[in-house]
Amino acid sequence: ANILGIQAAQHAFPELKHVAVFDTAFHQTMPSHAYRYAIPAEYYEKHGVRRYGFHGTSYRYVAQEAGRVLNRDSNRLALVIAHLGNGASISAVLNGKSQDTSMGLTPLEGLVMGTRSGDIDPSLFSFLSENFAMSVEQTTNMLNRQSGLLGLSGLSNDCRTLEAAAKEGHAGATLALEVFAYRLAKYIGAMTVAGGRLDALV
């Protein structure tokens, strides 16, 4: 889909230079202990299976903007930045460079999101296969599109709806918001470790 968009733009504006910006690029400064999975090395060495992270263009901008707002050099700040929305992630940015982030090989890893589960036990795949005859594709789809705030609440992936429902006593909405906040708080602590110190939480 992205390539189709590029091709359409090249066709419409052939005289212009076209540039692709990958939002994983910002996280290429992560140290190996942050991006490597604890699986056999050959999967990384031969196939590049590692944590890549996402939302990098957002993190780069927000880190610079935080420096401006704080009247500090963004290249001398230890920040924990939370990118919160239907797709959510968090990153430790030290001196303008990513040290760690919550999303991994795909955007599914990390925080609880609108319809994505975030971190789960990988053995869930075999458990669902053995007990409910769910295929890898079905489980992946469920974890990406039917989980997160929507799955926990049984109501919505929209925090506005969940907050209103929680005030009315909806147990699922309350639980979804509590899980979201709790997992976020745990990750804030973890990202503080990754940065070595904390000057600001954004």
Catalytic residues, by residue number, are 23
The answer to whether 152 touches 115, Cβ cutoff 8 Å, is: no
**Distance, CA of 60 to chain centre:** 15
Query: What DSSP state is assigned to residue 84?
Result: -
How far is 10 from 177, CA to CA, in rounded Å?
A: 43
Q: Which residues have a Cβ under 8 Å from the Cβ of 135 and sit 6 or more positions away? A: 129
Helical pair 171-195 and 159-167, crossing angle rounded to 10 deg: 130
Bridge partners (DSSP) listed for residue 101: 91
Structure tokens at 92: 């430790």
β strands within the chain, DSSP E: 78-83, 89-94, 97-101, 200-201
